[in-house]
Amino acid sequence: MRGMATKKKTRGGRPSKYDEKYNDIAFQVTKQFGANDKQLAKTLGVRESTLNLWKLKHPEFSESLKNGKQEFDTKNVVVALLHRAMGYSHPDTHISTYEGKVIVTDIVKHYPPDVGACTLYLCNRDPENWRSVNNTILQQSSKGTDERLAEIAGLLRKLDQKAN
């Protein structure tokens, strides 16, 4: 055994494909497109399990992913929920036919406030003040939409009075 060099033990397996440039790619793909982990893994040409391993081994990669998803949510999902909660309008085009002629008319579509979206938004935005309101509304879901909107408006006035 003398004279034989001892081999240094190495970890088995193939070297990681991870590259620091993936941090920026992960951020941009999740920020712009709202990509989930499976879609991002496909974009990077790796398996989802590899992506999960990178998130554990490279905190900066995990942070880039988290920040990109958060920006996408803030920019798109939260704004869409707020629009739905408050009601909104947008331009649209109505296409119809009359006596064989195609008629194209520019219109504005209106969407009224949605009680469910309003409740979800307020409960997540200010849970301390809206948790009990959420339970009240859910328990009284048999009421009509106008009644529920009036109830929410009344609760908003009460909260506003408490704040002042």
Tens-place pLDDT, residues 42-65 = 999 999 999 999 999 999 999 999
98 and 34 fall within a common domain: yes
The more confident residue out of 155 and 160 is 155
Question: In which domain, by residue range, is 28 found?
Answer: 18-112
Q: Where are the beta strands (DSSP E) in the chain?
A: 88-98, 101-111
Question: Is 83 within a domain?
Answer: yes
Question: Is 30 within a domain?
Answer: yes
Crossing angle for the helix pair 127-139 and 115-125, to the nearest 10 degrees: 150
Query: Distance from first CA to last CA of the chain, Å, rounded?
Result: 87
23 and 101 fall within a common domain: yes
28 and 97 fall within a common domain: yes
84 and 151 fall within a common domain: no
Please compute Rg for the chain using Cα positions: 27
Question: Is 105 within a domain?
Answer: yes
157 and 118 fall within a common domain: yes
162 and 148 fall within a common domain: yes
Q: Are 72 and 27 in contact (CB under 8 A)?
A: no
91 and 134 fall within a common domain: no
Q: Identify the band that residue 134 occupies on the pLDDT scale cut at 50, 70 and 90.
A: very low
Report the domain count for the chain: 2
**Per-residue pLDDT reduced to its tens digit, 99-125:** 999 999 999 999 999 988 888 888 877
**pTM of the shown model:** 0.52
